[in-house]
């Protein structure tokens, strides 16, 4: 496959993913980034014109040794490449997948999600003076929604005086999240009343100072600045609030199936990782309480 043929194939594959696979905007951007990186590498190897196992293995070495990519990023790059190769084979653009018979070790180290400590959340909400950022943090904690889902909520998505919010998740799957905190409901209702007086119901819930939609990047930046101001390292990301929401619910005894539905996980296996986090919290609480140690100290 020549360079021009590969470039055309990559464009066609991205178009296919957008039109037929209902992938999220962020996923499509990741695919495009991964394939662009591959194309750039292939252009640096004019002597390797075939899309075969040799180019896959040399590209993998390049990503590991020269780019020093994290395991998760490395795995994503290879998975994107594997999916691209499968599509090329299916559309008769290649006769043999370069991954045929290739056994790549792409396992990731098992890491538990890191929820935000409750005292840190309280500190952030106490310090935060910007009402939009404060509302965003509270909604993420209360519902576990993703940052992209949050910044795309429109006024028309909010129902039952703020209790129900329609969310468009990954792959354009819709679900409903619920707001049960009375104080947050009050803030949300007050926001709706003020916003409906001056904007249409099609407008976004979270707006920036210019009167346009608050983007994911802008919200991440606000959280980064707030983390720096409070001396929080590493800085708090929106996804850690999502982890926190799930962990807090599990710790409060909410059925894992309800948590799965709230987060929009297609598989309960994804949600089950939060039970392990809860077990970690339980261990910490037991070590702090140490009833046996306290009993024994009474007799020494």
Stated length of the chain: 300
Please indicate whether residue 18 is annotated as part of the active site. Answer: no
pLDDT in tens, 56-108: 889 888 988 888 888 788 888 988 999 999 999 999 988 888 888 887 766 65
pLDDT in tens, 228-238: 999 998 899 99
What is the spatial distance between Cα 279 and Cα 223, in angstroms, rounded to a whole number?
28
0.85 exceeded by the pTM? no
The larger pLDDT score, comparing residue 286 to residue 227, is at 227
What is the spatial distance between Cα 188 and Cα 78, in angstroms, rounded to a whole number?
43
In 3D, which of 143, 137, 135, 147 has the Cα closest to residue 179? 143
Choosing from 18, 168, 239, 261, the catalytic residue is 239
User: How does 72-97 read in b/e, with b if 16+ C-beta sit within 10 Å?
Assistant: eebebbbebbbbbbebbbeeebbeeb
- The pLDDT of residue 252 is above 70: yes
Check if the beta carbon of residue 247 is closer than 8 Å to that of residue 222: no
Please indicate whether residue 62 is annotated as part of the active site. Answer: no
What is the spatial distance between Cα 79 and Cα 205, in angstroms, rounded to a whole number?
35
Please indicate whether residue 233 is annotated as part of the active site. Answer: no
Which structure tokens are listed for 192? 């709706």
Q: Which of 154-158, 212-216, 253-257, 294-298 has the lowest mean pLDDT?
A: 294-298
CA triplet 247, 251, 255: central angle to 5 degrees?
90
Helix boundaries (H) for 166-237: 182-196, 216-230
Please indicate whether residue 261 is annotated as part of the active site. Answer: no
3-state secondary structure at position 160: helix
Please indicate whether residue 146 is annotated as part of the active site. Answer: yes
* H or E segment and range at residue 292: helix 291-297
* pLDDT, position 224: 94
Exposed, middle or buried, 226 (CB in 10 Å: 0-12/13-18/19+)? Answer: buried
Domains of the chain with bracketed CATH: 3-90 (1.10.150), 118-288 (1.10.443.10)
- The pLDDT of residue 109 is above 60: no
In 3D, which of 62, 11, 51, 55 has the Cα closest to residue 32? 11
Check if the beta carbon of residue 213 is closer than 8 Å to that of residue 150: no
What is the gyration radius of the CA atoms in the chain, in angstroms? 24
Mean pLDDT of the chain: 84
Residues 235-244 have a mean pLDDT of 90
What is the spatial distance between Cα 36 and Cα 242, in angstroms, rounded to a whole number?
30
Choosing from 6, 146, 240, 243, the catalytic residue is 146
For 13-172, list the strands marked E by DSSP. 158-159, 164-168
- The pLDDT of residue 295 is above 60: no
* H or E segment and range at residue 126: helix 118-127
Choosing from 13, 242, 243, 248, the catalytic residue is 242
Residues 183-211 have a mean pLDDT of 83
Choosing from 170, 175, 189, 224, the catalytic residue is 170
In 3D, which of 277, 51, 263, 114 has the Cα closest to residue 176? 263
* 173 phi/psi in degrees, rounded to 5: -75, 135
First-residue to last-residue Cα distance in the chain? 79
- Here the contacts of 69-78 (C-beta below 8 Å, separation 24 or greater) are 71/106, 71/108, 71/109, 72/108, 74/106, 75/106, 75/108, 76/30, 76/34, 77/34, 77/37, 77/38, 78/104, 78/106
Check if the beta carbon of residue 79 is closer than 8 Å to that of residue 37: no
Please indicate whether residue 243 is annotated as part of the active site. Answer: no
């Amino acid at each position: 496959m020549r360079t021009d043929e590969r470039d055309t194939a990559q464009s066609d594959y991205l178009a296919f993913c957008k039109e037929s696979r209902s992938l999220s905007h962020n996923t499509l951007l990741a695919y495009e980034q991964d394939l662009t990186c591959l194309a750039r590498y292939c252009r640096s190897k004019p002597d390797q014109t075939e899309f075969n196992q040799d180019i896959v293995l040399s590209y993998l070495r390049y990503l590991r040794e020269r780019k020093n990519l994290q395991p998760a990023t490395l795995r994503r790059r290879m998975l994107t490449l594997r999916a691209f190769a499968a599509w090329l084979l299916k559309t008769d653009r290649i006769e043999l997948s370069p991954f045929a018979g290739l056994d790549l070790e792409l396992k990731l180290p098992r890491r538990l999600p890191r929820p935000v400590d409750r005292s840190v959340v309280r500190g952030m909400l106490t310090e935060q003076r910007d009402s939009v950022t404060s509302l965003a943090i509270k909604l993420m904690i209360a519902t576990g929604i993703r940052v992209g889902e949050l910044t795309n909520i429109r006024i028309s998505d909010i129902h039952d005086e703020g209790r129900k919010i329609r969310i468009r998740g990954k792959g354009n799957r819709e679900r409903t999240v619920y707001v049960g905190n009375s104080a947050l409901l009050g803030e949300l209702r007050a926001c709706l009343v003020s916003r409906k007086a001056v904007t249409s119901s099609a407008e976004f819930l979270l707006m920036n100072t210019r009167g346009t939609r608050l983007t994911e990047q802008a919200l991440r930046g606000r959280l980064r600045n707030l983390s720096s101001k409070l001396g929080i390292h590493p800085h708090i990301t929106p996804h850690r609030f999502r982890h926190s929401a799930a962990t807090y619910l599990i710790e409060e005894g909410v059925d894992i199936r309800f948590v799965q539905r709230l987060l929009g996980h297609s598989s309960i296996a994804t949600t089950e990782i939060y039970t392990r986090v809860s077990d970690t919290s339980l261990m910490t609480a037991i070590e702090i309480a140490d009833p046996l140690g306290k009993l024994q100290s009474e007799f020494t």
